[in-house]
């Protein structure tokens, strides 16, 4: 019984952590259709905000404030300098954002060094839940993931701004002719996606080894989640992360991590082959 509860919590924890990392990508890749190879570095900068805050000697919680502010600024700059020139140019966007990714990663190395930094957990120790002891901070991550996804859902599906953003994505020319400043919305949407990636990085930092390579580990499953679940909707991302994370946790628990990777990739290939628009995507 306790084994099942722990496995369930592990799956849920990994799924929600993956969802947290995927959320920013849902906005930038899922909604805006920009393949952003630098998304892992946005996540990375968020994590280094925690390192910076810790070095200054402030409490961890300040990092949760600093990370989105820094990443929104980074997002605005990157959008203005590079991204706005490559909307709807897929190959160019992969190359250009890969370049941004290299630059950001090297900047981090220059400022903080190439070695891994450790970050103290702000909520150390385990708690009792459903008859098992479980790390308290993992529960906090789950809470943040749920809160942030809900906030995003409300922003994009229940506010006029969200409606305008979705309208611009659905039909840019028509939205413009209805008076919507599409340029300004592109900028804001990209910055929001970057900001969410920053929060994810800051929240994940205490349970990961914070080093310049940490962004990559989550980037691939995050992209896979969106492709498997279906891009353009939050529901798709939710389904995708559920499929990827549960497969990955269950298989690696029974066999090994390597087998889990193989299964996840095979499954993704099959899903994308038979549901090109993802599990939740409508077939056209």
Chain residues binding other proteins by CB under 8 A are 160-161, 163-164, 166-167, 170-171, 173-183
Which one, 110 or 173, has the nearer CB to other proteins?
Answer: 173
Q: Tell me the C-alpha to C-alpha distance, in Å, between residue 236 and each of 88, 139, 191, 243, 276.
A: 21, 23, 21, 11, 13
Q: How far is the CB of 175 from other proteins (least distance, A)?
A: 7
Q: How far is the CB of 21 from other proteins (least distance, A)?
A: 27
> Residues near 274 by Cβ (< 8 Å), separated by ≥ 6?
none
Q: How far is the CB of 214 from other proteins (least distance, A)?
A: 36
Q: How far is the CB of 158 from other proteins (least distance, A)?
A: 11
Which one, 109 or 161, has the nearer CB to other proteins?
Answer: 161
> Residues near 20 by Cβ (< 8 Å), separated by ≥ 6?
141, 144, 145, 148, 199, 200, 203, 204
Q: How far is the CB of 277 from other proteins (least distance, A)?
A: 13
Helix residue ranges, H only, the chain:
2-25, 39-56, 61-81, 90-112, 136-158, 160-170, 172-177, 182-204, 214-229, 234-254, 257-274
- Candidates 189, 190, 218, 191; CA nearest to 203 is 218
Let me know how long the chain is: 284
Which one, 1 or 173, has the nearer CB to other proteins?
Answer: 173
Which one, 171 or 213, has the nearer CB to other proteins?
Answer: 171
Which one, 67 or 164, has the nearer CB to other proteins?
Answer: 164
């Amino acid at each position: 019984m306790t084994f099942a509860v722990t496995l369930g919590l592990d799956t849920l924890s990994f799924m929600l952590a993956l969802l947290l990392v995927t959320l920013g990508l849902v906005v930038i890749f899922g909604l805006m259709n920009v393949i952003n190879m630098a998304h892992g570095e946005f996540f990375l900068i968020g994590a280094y905000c925690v390192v910076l805050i810790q070095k200054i000697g402030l409490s961890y919680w300040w990092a949760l404030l600093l990370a989105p502010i820094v990443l929104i600024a980074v997002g605005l700059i990157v959008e203005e300098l590079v991204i706005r020139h490559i909307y709807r140019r897929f190959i160019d966007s992969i190359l250009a954002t890969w370049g941004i990714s290299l630059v950001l990663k090297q900047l981090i190395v220059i400022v903080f060094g190439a070695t891994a930094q450790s970050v103290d957990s702000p909520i150390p120790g385990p708690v009792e839940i459903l008859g098992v002891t479980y790390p308290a901070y993992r529960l906090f991550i789950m809470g943040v993931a749920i809160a942030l996804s809900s906030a995003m859902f409300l922003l994009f599906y229940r506010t006029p701004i969200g409606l305008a953003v979705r309208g611009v994505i659905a039909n840019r020319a028509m939205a413009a002719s209805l008076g919507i400043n599409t340029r300004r919305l592109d900028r804001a949407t990209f910055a929001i996606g970057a900001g969410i990636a920053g929060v994810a990085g800051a929240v994940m930092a205490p349970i990961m080894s914070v080093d310049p390579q940490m962004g990559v580990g989550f980037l691939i499953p995050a992209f896979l989640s969106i492709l498997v679940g279906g891009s353009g909707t939050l529901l798709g991302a939710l389904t995708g992360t559920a499929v990827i994370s549960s497969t990955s946790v269950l298989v690696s628990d029974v066999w090994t991590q390597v087998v889990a990777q193989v299964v996840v990739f095979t499954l993704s290939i099959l899903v994308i082959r038979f549901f090109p628009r993802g599990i939740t995507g409508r077939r056209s």
